[in-house]
Amino acid sequence: MAEEPTRHQDEAGESSEGSESKPDHGGLSRRQFIAGAAAAGAAGVLGVPSVASATGPTPYLQVTGGDDGSDLIFINGEIHTMDDDGTVASSVTIRNGRFANVGQGARAGGPNTTVVNLKGRTVVPGIIDNHNHIVLMGNRPGFHTPLENANSIAEVQATLAARAAGVPSGEWITTIGGFNILQFAESRFPTKTELDDAIPDHPVLVSQSFSGPAAANSAGAAILAANGVTVGPDGEIASGGAGATGEALLFLRQTLLTPGTRRRGAADAMAYGASLGVTTHLDQGAFQATGEPSDGAAHEDNFTMHIPFLELYRSRELGTRLRINFLNLEEDPETPQLIARLKNAFPFFGGDLVKTGGIGEFTAGNPFELFQGPEPSEAWKNGTLRVAEAGWRNENHSLSGSDFMAIIEGWEEVNAQFPITDLRWVLAHVPFITDEYVNRLKALGGGLSLTGWRYLSGTLAGNGPPFRTIVDNGIPTGMSSDGMQIAPMNPWLHMFYATTGVNAAGDLINDGQQISREEVLRLYTADNRWFLGEDDIGTIEVGHHADLVVLNGDYFAVSDEGLKDINSVLTVVGGKVVHDAGVV
Ligand SMILES: [Zn+2]
């Protein structure tokens, strides 16, 4: 895929800032370019520019460095390419959505060139999250506000208040999952008064994890109490279904979700990811919604929930990449639903922005009963066989001390009938997997998706995964968040956990299994290519998709605590700026 550098570029060696700080020609200045990009899109409610653009028929391909021969050039950076040699470059040139040059001191020359002087800032490839639930996040009722980065009640208040500033008065401000009160210094929910003080003009509900507990401000509590939710005197709402958090969530879904609000939520979710540097999401589905109060944050309709994202794609407003796995949970041993999916859908089909994946993170059968008995359910066994027969990719999750054994043994039996060794089957999370089973999965051609989900509420007994053991093993391994219910999306929090073994409460719970910053960043970028089945993404190399993140600090030099504060000041996907904090 390598593309020859054009005559507009030359390798000028390491150049000084002064000689590179502006374009050679009269193209847009960096500031003009960014201002134009921001103005062209509808301003996102998270305060970041939306990726929408009114300047062309295909704005998601309309990069600086588009068909007109213009280039987007970054100079004077610490650009960690994550290529096989670990190259650190100082400059990159982007053209037609791909990296056209990666090197030391490339110079501008074209008539429509935009040059960005990074002034030594750290750049990494766009983060690939190989297992998350971004589609659930995009379908939340209300103006969902991630609280995963708040370390105290004051930061909760500030986060909610900042969000409310961009939301019409009277609209619901919500946080549906993705945080745990253990991450706050106070280890409690905000009080009703604290929520009222922060957000006086909106009803508010913040709900922890899958199904609460939750807390509401005065306005929110009044509305919910009038609609069958039991709300305590301080706005507290118990976890669970009827009368409690599940009832509140159902009420909000029934009254707030429309095609328009879902679409807005989908755009917000992708914009939030871009603000963290996540440029590719591999979504892993939802528990099938029942429309009852027993539904939690992870429930949605697996057959319609992608529509808002597909609408954004169709209208050229989707800026970051979405890959879609199909989750299947039916309990019928004949698995008719799964068979229909395998017959009527295509794996790994689509374009650069949206593409299908495989089956996962469940194949069939009730996950809560799946491995309770002596062996997996008939639905799981039959479904797994059908996926192998169809030649699809398959992904399951493992959470217990024994389920990984049942899954891998089951996959070995299937492999004897329909070989899966070329299909890249994945086991995700694996907090307690052993070396023996890592090797058995490796022999099946499988891989492991690791996550720092224990960061929020993990303990010494509930710790893992064994990062060190697995990385040393050499089995295909990648990194994911498993956000947005029990875990944050923020990849830098997961990198903090993977490299320190310390949870959000500050307790060392995964000692001996820490990996290096270089290793975990590689898992989140280059090594996640294997999970996507794509080879032109995840590293900053000539010919690859031009996805990169300019960080607000030096990832490799900040303190461990400082890792939690890493985010993106500028995110580029396919050569297009999709997040700009305005500081570069
Ligand atoms: Zn998951």
Structure tokens at 75: 């100079």
Residues whose CB is less than 8 angstroms from the CB of residue 259 and which lie 6 or more positions away in sequence, other chains included = 307, 308, 311
CB neighbours of residue 96 within 10 Å: 17
Distance in Å, CA 489 to ligand 1 centroid: 11
521 CA to middle of ligand 1, Å? Answer: 20
What is the C-alpha to C-alpha distance for residues 270 and 279, in angstroms, rounded to an integer?
Answer: 9
Q: How far apart are CA 550 and CA 497, in angstroms?
A: 22
- CA–centroid distance, 259 to ligand 1, in Å, is 25
Q: Which two tokens stand for residue 161?
A: 């208040």
Cα 284 to averaged position of ligand 1 atoms, centre (Å)? 6
Cα 361 to averaged position of ligand 1 atoms, centre (Å): 6
Distance of CA 539 to the CA centre of its chain: 17
Dist. CA 290 → ligand 1 center (Å): 19
Q: What is the mean pLDDT of the chain?
A: 88
Alpha carbon of 439 to ligand 1 centroid (Å): 23
d(CA 79, CA 126): 12
Tell me: cis bond preceding 465? Omega within 30 of 0 counts: yes
Q: Could you tell me how many residues make up the chain?
A: 584
What is the per-residue pLDDT for 109?
Answer: 56
Residue 126 alpha carbon to ligand 1 centre in Å: 21
Distance 557 CA to ligand 1 centre (A): 31
Task: Give me ligand 1 centre to Cα 419, in Å.
Answer: 25
pLDDT value for 26: 31
pLDDT at 104: 82
The residue type at 350: G
* Measured distance CA(126)–CA(169) in Å, rounded: 35
Ligand 1 centre to CA of 254 (Å) is: 25
CA of 324 to the centre of ligand 1 (A): 12
> Tell me: the pLDDT tens digits for 33-66?
333 333 333 333 233 333 333 333 333 333 344 4
Whether residue 150 has pLDDT greater than 90: yes
* Whether 368 contacts 400, CB under 8 Å: no
Distance (Å) from CA 479 to ligand 1 centroid: 12
For residue 567, the model assigns a pLDDT of 97
- Identify the weakest region by mean pLDDT among 5-9, 339-343, 369-373, 451-455: 5-9
Residue 290 CB neighbours (<10 A): 11
Checking if the pLDDT of 132 tops 90, the result is yes
Lookup: tokens for 2: 């390598």
| pLDDT at position 68 | 53
pLDDT tens for each residue of 457-501: 999 999 999 999 999 999 999 999 999 999 999 999 999 999 999
Distance 398 CA to ligand 1 centre (A): 10
Q: Which residues contact 570 (CB under 8 A, 6 or more apart)?
A: 116, 549, 550, 577, 579, 580, 581, 584
In the reported structure, the alpha carbon of residue 482 is separated from the centroid of ligand 1 by a whole-number distance in angstroms of 5
Nearest to 365 by CA among 407, 418, 304: 407
Spacing, Cα 77 to ligand 1 middle (Å) = 35
Q: Residue 304 C-alpha to ligand 1 middle, in angstroms?
A: 18
- Catalogue the E-assigned strands of 407-493: 426-429, 447-451, 477-480
Which pLDDT does position 375 carry in this prediction?
75
CA distances to 13, 473, 584 from 77, rounded to whole Å, are 14, 34, 11
| 374 — pLDDT class (breaks 50, 70, 90) | low
- Identify whether 213 is preceded by a cis peptide bond (ω within 30 of 0): yes
pLDDT tens profile 541-555: 999 999 999 999 999
Residue with tokens 């700009």: 580
CA of residue 416 to ligand 1 center, whole Å? 28
Token pair, residue 522, equals: 């590689």
Residue 363 CA to ligand 1 center (angstroms) comes to 13
> What integer pLDDT is reported at residue 1 of this predicted model?
34
Residue % of the chain over a pLDDT of 70: 86
Residue 466 or 107, more confident: 466
* CA nearest neighbour of 300 among 398, 380, 210: 210
d(CA 133, CA 325): 10
Q: How far apart are the CA of 47 and the centre of ligand 1, in A?
A: 28
Q: How far is the CA of 296 from the centre of ligand 1 (A)?
A: 14
pTM (two decimals) = 0.89
Cα(397) to centroid(ligand 1), Å: 7
Cα dihedral 95/99/101/107 (nearest 10): 50
Q: Where is 515: in which H helix or E strand?
A: none
CB of 371 closer than 8 Å to CB of 400:
yes
Q: Which residues contact 218 (CB under 8 A, 6 or more apart)?
A: 192, 195, 196, 235
Q: What DSSP element (H or E) covers 517?
A: helix 517-524
Higher pLDDT, 21 or 221: 221
CA distance 153 to 170: 23
- pLDDT at position 231 over 50: yes
Let me know how many helices (H) and strands (E) the chain has, helices first.
Answer: 19, 25
550 touches 127 (CB < 8 A): no
For residue 396, the CA-to-ligand 1 centroid distance in Å is 9
In this structure, are residues 178 and 146 in contact, taking their beta carbons and an 8 Å threshold? yes
| Cα 337 to middle of ligand 1, angstroms | 20
Distance 39 CA to ligand 1 centre (A): 36
- Residues 402-421: pLDDT tens digits? 899 999 999 999 999 999 99
Residue 359 alpha carbon to ligand 1 centre in Å: 12
Q: Which residues of 401-435 are buried (b: 16+ CB within 10 A; e: fewer)?
A: eebbbbbbebbeebbeeeebeebbbbbbbbbbbee
Asked if residues 561 and 552 have their Cβ atoms less than 8 Å apart, the reply is: no
Q: Residue 478, Cβ neighbours under 10 Å: how many?
A: 28
With beta carbons less than 8 A apart as the criterion, state whether 285 and 325 touch: yes
Which DSSP letter does residue 508 get? B
The helix/strand/coil state of 538 is coil
**Residue 302 CA, ligand 1 centroid: distance in Å:** 14
What is the structure's pLDDT at 376? 86
Distance 133 CA to ligand 1 centre (A): 7
Task: Tell me how far the alpha carbon of residue 468 lies from the centroid of ligand 1, in angstroms.
Answer: 22
Distance CA 336, CA 318 (A): 33
Q: Which long-range contacts (CB under 8 A, 24 or more apart) does 226-234 make?
A: 227/251, 234/191, 234/192
Report the candidate in 562, 473, 554 with the shortest Cα–Cα distance to residue 515.
Answer: 473
Per the CB < 8 A criterion, the answer to whether 571 and 578 are in contact is yes
Q: Ligand 1 centre and the CA of 137: distance in Å?
A: 12
Side-chain-facing half-sphere of 90: CA atoms under 13 Å: 17
Rounded distance from Cα 270 to ligand 1 centre (Å): 17
Residue 182 phi, psi (nearest 5): -65, -20
CA angle 100, 105, 111 (to 5 degrees): 60
